[in-house]
């Protein structure tokens, strides 16, 4: 599990290029971190768990993710799978500043779909279908390009993603990352504690004590910073973990409920349906390809 507040990770700049393209295992097993660069990932090979904002989900080989600037994230390797298959995971990672083509770049009308895409990426995005296949193929060839061709290829990829309807958010509406703010130390302690203890019973008094605030003051503080109550946030984290377990298909719905921190099956069903718009059974069947999406 994550054991620390998100760290600012310095993305090394390249002397010859305006954005970074990596093609190795460096995107795996980093600490819980954030950076001002937008990150586009294509997982070629490897199994494990994605942590993106409040979202916890299994890594899928072939997945394409777009993570907005300063969005906390990490991807942790599946240790059991790694011991059985010790070959290194493979991922294409592209990291770029939103204004790498200039401050006015995103205000150009022709680039509006890209500007909107980068705003939506603040919640984390995953792509599927023909979009994922087309973008994955282009990402594989991106590192070999240089000069104008390299920039045009990235713009083509972002334009394709920006115009696609084959996309899902990783975090629910209202998610706001404050990891980059200097004043976020208190709330990062709450995030850290929640990620490490969400499968246990958590009281408002416990989390309020982390911020040296009274319960009522903490509730106001958390709502102001995140636009939701603490228990709404906690429920989203638990449901996100339940989605991961259901996708893996190793536990029945009852054990998934309790393993995710819920202590009442009917409450679990209500909260899951409210957040995911599917029942746990429907989500399990869809994620395992038993019913069409």
The CATH number of residue 80's host domain is: 2.60.120.10
Read off the pLDDT of each residue in 111-119 and give the average, rounded to a whole number: 93
Q: What's 25's DSSP letter?
A: G
Look over the chain and give the mean of its residue pLDDT values, rounded to a whole number: 84
pLDDT, one tens digit per residue, over 279-291 is 999 988 887 666 5
Q: Is residue 263 part of a domain?
A: yes
pLDDT, one tens digit per residue, over 168-189 is 999 887 777 766 555 467 777 8
Q: Is residue 78 part of a domain?
A: yes
Q: Is residue 292 part of a domain?
A: no
Strand, helix or coil at 73? strand
Read off the pLDDT of each residue in 100-116 and give the average, rounded to a whole number: 87
Residue 266: predicted pLDDT = 95
**Are 196 and 234 in the same domain?**
yes
**Are 188 and 44 in the same domain?**
no
- At which of 169, 202, 225 does a domain end? 169
Strand 7-8 versus strand 33-34 pairing type: parallel
**Are 150 and 206 in the same domain?**
no
**Are 189 and 269 in the same domain?**
yes
CA distances from 119 to 3, 159, 250 (A): 28, 14, 36
Best mean pLDDT range from 38-42, 69-73, 85-89: 38-42
- Say how far apart CA 184 and CA 112 lie, in whole Å: 31
pLDDT, one tens digit per residue, over 206-237 is 999 999 999 999 999 888 777 789 998 899 88
**Are 125 and 28 in the same domain?**
yes
| Dihedral sign (CA 141, 11, 71, 2) | positive
Residue 231: predicted pLDDT = 93
HSE toward the beta carbon, residue 73, CA cutoff 13 A: 30
Q: Decide: residue 97, CB within 10 A, 0-12 exposed, 13-18 middle, 19+ buried.
A: middle
Grade residue 205 by pLDDT with cuts at 50, 70 and 90.
Answer: very high
Model confidence pTM above 0.75 = no
- Say how far apart CA 106 and CA 272 lie, in whole Å: 37
């Amino acid at each position: 599990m994550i054991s620390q507040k998100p760290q600012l990770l310095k993305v090394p700049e390249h002397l010859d290029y305006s954005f970074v393209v990596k093609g190795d295992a460096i995107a795996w097993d980093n600490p819980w971190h954030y950076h001002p660069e937008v990150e586009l990932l294509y997982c070629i090979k490897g199994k494990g768990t994605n942590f993106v904002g409040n979202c916890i989900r299994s890594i899928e080989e072939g997945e394409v993710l777009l993570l907005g600037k300063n969005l906390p994230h990490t991807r942790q390797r599946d240790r059991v799978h790694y011991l059985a298959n010790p070959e290194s995971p493979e991922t294409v990672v592209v990291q770029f500043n939103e204004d790498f083509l200039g401050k006015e770049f995103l205000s150009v009308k022709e680039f509006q779909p890209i500007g909107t895409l980068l705003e939506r990426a603040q919640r984390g995005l995953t792509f599927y279908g023909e979009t994922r296949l087309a973008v994955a193929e282009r990402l594989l060839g991106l590192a070999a390009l240089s000069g104008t061709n390299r920039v045009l290829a990235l713009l083509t990829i972002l334009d394709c993603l920006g115009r696609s309807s084959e996309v899902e958010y990783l975090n629910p509406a209202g998610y706001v990352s404050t990891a980059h703010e200097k004043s976020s130390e208190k709330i990062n302690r709450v995030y850290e504690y929640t990620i490490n203890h969400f499968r246990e019973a958590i009281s408002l008094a416990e989390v309020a004590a982390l911020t040296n605030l009274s319960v009522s003051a903490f509730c106001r503080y958390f709502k102001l910073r995140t636009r939701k109550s603490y228990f709404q946030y906690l429920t989203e984290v638990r449901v996100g973990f339940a989605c991961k377990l259901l996708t893996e298909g190793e536990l029945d719905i009852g054990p998934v409920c309790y393993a995710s921190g819920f202590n009442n099956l009917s409450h679990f069903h209500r909260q899951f349906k409210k957040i995911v718009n599917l029942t746990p059974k429907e989500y399990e069947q869809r994620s395992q390809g038993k019913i069409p999406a």
